[in-house]
Structure 1
């Protein structure tokens, strides 16, 4: 089964970790397509220091999640995730971020750099950037000043994720950016495509904002699965209900069909409303216990079991 996962950050890491739990009992060909709009932390510092490079943080985390479950894979995963200490210029940078930048400069190709890093970690899957150029997120936000109806433009992933207002819509800059060709090929060949979990406006939605990627997602015969978050994110989706997440996705990509929606039972206050919202999109809703009890973190084993159930009911090659 060819599975393409769309997202970034901790949400994508959780999804990839869960998919790894399904191996080796189930044969999966996994491709992670990762957002490239991060401008905070180590990635933001590196973007400002090295012109034109892709922010490496989310790409590094995806590689780490796919690393081989042997001594060599675990060593390289730990090393990639390790942050330099001290007070110098490297302080706070994860080793993997620096390695990815170095590989990109040596190979002059971000996809080749990711493939080389994946080989180093023994990755059981492929990591690809959403686009081969760094992007910026631009959001239209209300409620950030004295006039609650005034619409303000906020630029940058960190600024959007931490805004005190409510995000109305997001776009990408440059608006004419194109998707990574290898990512489009993976989407066209996929049996299953997953959206989320993750920061909705800054990790999940960016994939449908690239015109050629949105067209590929709309045309794909794959089963499209949305995995909802366990809680609203402060600032970015504060106050959002689970069904509002679906409505926002539909508003930004009305031509992309969603076939299944997976949500944690305890995170859905009004399951009837969510089921109605899913059915309005032509989707089947699955409510499962997929969180670590008492937390807003996905349990890899529970999420893996829920994914296995979704996969098991798919027809033909996808099964």
Structure 2
């Protein structure tokens, strides 16, 4: 039997034809099993949870799926722009865009995986209402409506794609990101205003002072909390600092899990400040603002590209205040763009997991 036939048969076992309504009532008592990228003997690979959103999380997942098959992505759900924002406003659903990107990043390098990655990332171009909607966004939202269960629907999409890992939202309710921004209005450079919405925060010309979520105490998805508590390694970032990375620390149950887990915690830094959101930020300042938002959170390793660190001593001191060691490694693409290279990032993660693991190369 071909791989494709096997996957399709697996889909029919999860939700048989004509049984979607019954599946919604059942509420998915058992998660869909997701097979790993490289099956290994039991216990031979680390359990890794990666948190973030957008292209930063996608880069991390594309690297991590190369070194472990036990991988879970926990994705922010505060996006309010583009196709995700339109679906959120019209249907009252979670914004699916960052979830879609994470699923695409977990697709394999075979024909099946790459075909589906392109399909779910495809955007319609038209003069009508479908313009700029991503196919994957529509598929995810359709399954949410059919099944009535966010986790079950995402597991099902992952099974269809042959994803090398699992994708979960950090919360089951749509969230609004709000920020205190100094100089958001260039005509009033010293004033501090409240800026609402992830898309607006990400593009502010001012200086972001802090961020918070509305509602302020959103419930975490239980499977996300469980994954963090059961992990060997938790990877936070890289990505848009205030709109993709820090929001995970603003969900109380998720922050509790991050502080209580026995997993090692690694923070990969961005390769360059983000225009608008972190314009002019040094690597150590990224750590300082993260520490202010979650003062009880300790880290184990801060990963940075050597070429992106002009002051190693200051970064080392900032990391030490969070309990972390600094690991420098070449992780950037060689084309000059501030993007992570999946193979180089995978090599850096692999080395960190082996060097800093508690028991042998893996637990």
TM class, shorter-chain normalised? Answer: over 0.9
Aligned partners of 2:314, 2:324: CA distance in 1, in Å? 13
Q: Which residue of 1 aligns with 2:359?
A: 316
User: Among 78, 94, 113, which residue is 1:54 paired with?
Assistant: 94
Instruction: Spell out the pairing of 1:123-138 with structure 2 (5 A cutoff).
Output: 123-138=163-178
Aligned partners of 1:95, 1:101: CA distance in 2, in Å? 10
Work out the number of aligned pairs and report it.
314
Residues 170 and 220, structure 2, Cα contact 8 Å, conserved in 1:
yes
| 1:198-232: CA deviation from partner (whole Å, max 9, x where unpaired) | 00000000000011111111101110000000000
Tell me, yes or no, if structure 1 residue 234 matches structure 2 residue 271. no
Aligned partners of 2:273, 2:170: CA distance in 1, in Å? 24
Instruction: Spell out the pairing of 1:8-157 with structure 2 (5 A cutoff).
Output: 8-22=53-67, 27-51=68-92, 53-145=93-185, 146-157=187-198
Aligned partners of 2:101, 2:220: CA distance in 1, in Å? 20
| Deviation of 1:269 (Å) | 1.1
| 1:83-124: CA deviation from partner (whole Å, max 9, x where unpaired) | 112212111111000000100000011111101100100111
Aligned partners of 2:326, 2:129: CA distance in 1, in Å? 48
User: Among 280, 301, 308, which residue is 1:267 paired with?
Assistant: 308
Tell me, yes or no, if structure 1 residue 253 matches structure 2 residue 294. yes
| Deviation of 1:75 (Å) | 1.6
| Deviation of 1:176 (Å) | 2.3
| Deviation of 1:277 (Å) | 0.9
| Deviation of 1:148 (Å) | 3.4
Aligned partners of 1:144, 1:134: CA distance in 2, in Å? 25
Aligned partners of 1:76, 1:28: CA distance in 2, in Å? 19
Q: Which residue of 2 aligns with 1:159?
A: 200
| 1:262-281: CA deviation from partner (whole Å, max 9, x where unpaired) | 00111111111111111122
Q: Which residue of 2 aligns with 1:6?
A: 51
Q: Which residue of 2 aligns with 1:176?
A: 217
Aligned partners of 1:182, 1:40: CA distance in 2, in Å? 26
What residue ranges of structure 1 are gaps of 5+ in the alignment?
none
Q: Which residue of 1 aligns with 2:331?
A: 290
Q: Which has the larger radius of gyration?
A: 2
Aligned partners of 2:329, 2:233: CA distance in 1, in Å? 19
Tell me, yes or no, if structure 1 residue 224 matches structure 2 residue 269. no
Aligned partners of 2:155, 2:145: CA distance in 1, in Å? 14
Aligned partners of 1:177, 1:279: CA distance in 2, in Å? 31
Aligned partners of 1:113, 1:63: CA distance in 2, in Å? 12
Root-mean-square deviation (CA), in Å?
Answer: 1.2
Aligned partners of 1:76, 1:129: CA distance in 2, in Å? 21
Name the SS of the counterpart of 2:65 in structure 1.
helix
| Deviation of 1:147 (Å) | 4.1
Aligned partners of 2:133, 2:317: CA distance in 1, in Å? 45
Name the SS of the counterpart of 1:119 in structure 2.
helix
Q: Could you state the TM-score of these two structures normalised by the residue count of structure 1?
A: 0.96
User: Among 189, 201, 205, which residue is 2:242 paired with?
Assistant: 201
Aligned partners of 1:176, 1:292: CA distance in 2, in Å? 38
Aligned partners of 1:149, 1:221: CA distance in 2, in Å? 43
Q: Could you state the TM-score of these two structures normalised by the residue count of structure 2?
A: 0.85
Aligned partners of 2:105, 2:202: CA distance in 1, in Å? 23
Residues 179 and 195, structure 2, Cα contact 8 Å, conserved in 1:
yes
What residue ranges of structure 2 are gaps of 5+ in the alignment?
1-45
Aligned partners of 1:264, 1:138: CA distance in 2, in Å? 30
| Deviation of 1:21 (Å) | 2.4
Aligned partners of 2:65, 2:304: CA distance in 1, in Å? 20
